[in-house]
Structure 1
Amino acid sequence: MKNILLLTCCFFTLACFSQKNALTSKQQDTLSIWQLAKYDGASAFGGLKHAYTRPLHWDGEDWATFGFVVGGTALLYFVDDETSNFFLRQDGSSPNIAKEFGERFGSPQVAYGITGSVYLFGLLTKNERVRETGVLLISSATAVGLIQTVLKTTVGRSRPQNGEGKFAFKPFSGESGFRSFPSGHTILSFTTAYAISKQFKNPWVKAGIYTVGMISPISRIVNGAHWLTDVVLSLAISVATVDAIDNYLNGKNRYPNDKNKKGITWNVNFGVGSMGIVGRF
């Protein structure tokens, strides 16, 4: 975990010594790997800042969405006990492989491992599209990681498995049993899945990636680590953060070559007695 944090800090440190203005694809093609890393560091840092300051620039539609999320979560809060009891009853019948996958996929080691691997592949191969995906993953994971760390400590909500009910809070206690909101596994797993899904256009492929990203959130409710409302708000944080950073990268045209390509499209083909998936790059 210390190595992961060190690599993340080094990546963002590159932003202090890098090109702030967007470069054309031809200009990026002439840069060395070190220069590309510095450029990507600036992109990631810019996305991080944009995600944190975006609420200052929300318009009426944004605030309406925010109100809808808060209102919907408030309604779910009234049935938190009932939904928690329902999911806890499913614990014995849940596949162990799903629980294990959910626990591992939402862990910082795996989430940042995937994130770092995607970015390093794009950097070493100088693939602009993959580099952008890696930057989106790194900046999004860092942004939501900091948010969930602060909220867990300040909110101090009791976990369902404590048996103290949904109204039990101990802000700043530091006790592991009072770090229910938000769900770190949910935030990291779905942030990774949602960012990756943006690289595909086929709705079936997107749905498949979303499904994988939802395994961790559901497994955490089933084992009594989080309430349903914890997970719902965590999902909202993930989506809002990834969208904000993705909009920043697109709006600033940090990776222009990506906009001139159709990207990776996947089509599901059905025939008599056959089914296949065709990818076009």
Structure 2
Amino acid sequence: MRPIDYVVKLIIITVFISGPIIKAQEKNKDSLTTTWELLKYDGVSAFGGLKKTYSQPIRWQKDDFLTAGAIVTGTAVLYIFDDEANEWFRNQEDDVPMFIQDFGWYYGSPQNNYAVNGAVYLYGLFTRNEKVRRTGVLMISAATTAGIIQSILKTAVGRARPKEGAGKGDFKPFSSEPNYHSFPSGHTILSFTTAYALSKQFENPFVKAGILGVGLIPPASRLWEGAHWFTDVGLSLALSVLVVDSIDNYLKRERDYGKNEIEGISWNFQVGLGRIGITGRF
């Protein structure tokens, strides 16, 4: 299947699963506001989220330092098992259906990821729906913020990819060789940032789990291919969560997108004579 086919399908899927958000929210109350004014407001919001995240460390409190310490400690623990984890994941590659492997690659690629994020945002912009617009702003701002961080770290750290044949401790800082850009994982950061940002808009745990599960396919595919070590993926997941939460809190506190509460999806289990089923109400 051609890459463009995946992009189109990803956009359709994303807009479809965004439907519950769209139906649950009111449209922008100020009908006199032009689309251009909304676009400018959202641009400021996205950039403000980026600035807030980058400046956050200077305002860290005790709990923030404890969180950072836990992430560093967790990464160090994963490092111990990098070789064993790499061997295990590489042995699974032949058993993974090709369409899942392809999905992992295309969904985590920057151009496809931004196509999905852009589709959500533009839908909210042109339907003048505050909550969908906010979701799109969160997804785009978080992907950009985390993407810049991972691009800088990849070059600065210069860690060898597993498939290079070098060990987990082989580093060439500031190397221009792609095979020494393993840490962290760009595919993981982009895919999981988008999935986590979208999942926060739902209260139903099954919906959340489904969205997050899709977001974990690209990280797994990179491990199957030997493109990243387990620590690369683990740190990338943690980074994605921190960035999304930081920008989400900024949008709640400092930007006006109406009520922050989003109506969840209710599920009813129905049993009757000769029938059994589950009905979802959006």
Residues 91-112 of structure 1 deviation map (CA, whole Å, 9 limit, x = unaligned)? 1111111101100110111110
2:83 matched to 1:91?
A: no
- Could you say what secondary structure the match of 2:216 adopts? helix
Q: Structure 1: which amino acid aligns with 2:219?
A: P
Tell me which residue corresponds to 2:201: 199
How large is the Cα RMSD of the aligned pairs? Answer: 1.3
**Could you tell me whether the CA contact under 8 Å between 1:264 and 1:279 is conserved in 2?**
no
**Could you tell me whether the CA contact under 8 Å between 1:266 and 1:277 is conserved in 2?**
no
Aligned length, in residue pairs: 252
CA distance in 2: counterparts of 1:163 and 1:237, whole angstroms: 27
Tell me which residue corresponds to 1:274: 276
Change (3 A) 1:267 1:171: same
Q: Structure 2: which amino acid aligns with 1:265?
A: G
Gaps of 5+ in 1: 1-24
CA-CA distance at 1:206 after TM superposition? 0.5
2:74 matched to 1:72?
A: yes
Tell me which residue corresponds to 1:148: 150
| TM-score normalized with structure 1 length | 0.86
CA-CA distance at 1:138 after TM superposition? 1.1
- Could you say what secondary structure the match of 2:68 adopts? helix
| TM-score normalized with structure 2 length | 0.86
Change (3 A) 1:187 1:277: farther
**Could you tell me whether the CA contact under 8 Å between 2:49 and 2:251 is conserved in 1?**
yes
Q: Structure 1: which amino acid aligns with 2:269?
A: F
Tell me which residue corresponds to 2:247: 245
Residues 163-182 of structure 1 deviation map (CA, whole Å, 9 limit, x = unaligned)? 11101011111111101011
Tell me which residue corresponds to 2:224: 222
- Could you say what secondary structure the match of 1:265 adopts? coil
Tell me which residue corresponds to 1:17: none
- Moved runs in structure 1, 4+ residues, more than 2 A? 267-277
Residues 9-34 of structure 1 deviation map (CA, whole Å, 9 limit, x = unaligned)? xxxxxxxxxxxxxxxx64x4431000
Q: Structure 1: which amino acid aligns with 2:79?
A: Y
Of all paired residues, the percent bearing the same amino acid is 54
Tell me which residue corresponds to 2:259: 258
2:124 matched to 1:122?
A: yes
| Alignment match of 1:208 (pick from 207, 210, 218) | 210
**Could you tell me whether the CA contact under 8 Å between 2:164 and 2:179 is conserved in 1?**
yes
- Could you say what secondary structure the match of 2:277 adopts? strand
Gaps of 5+ in 2: 1-27
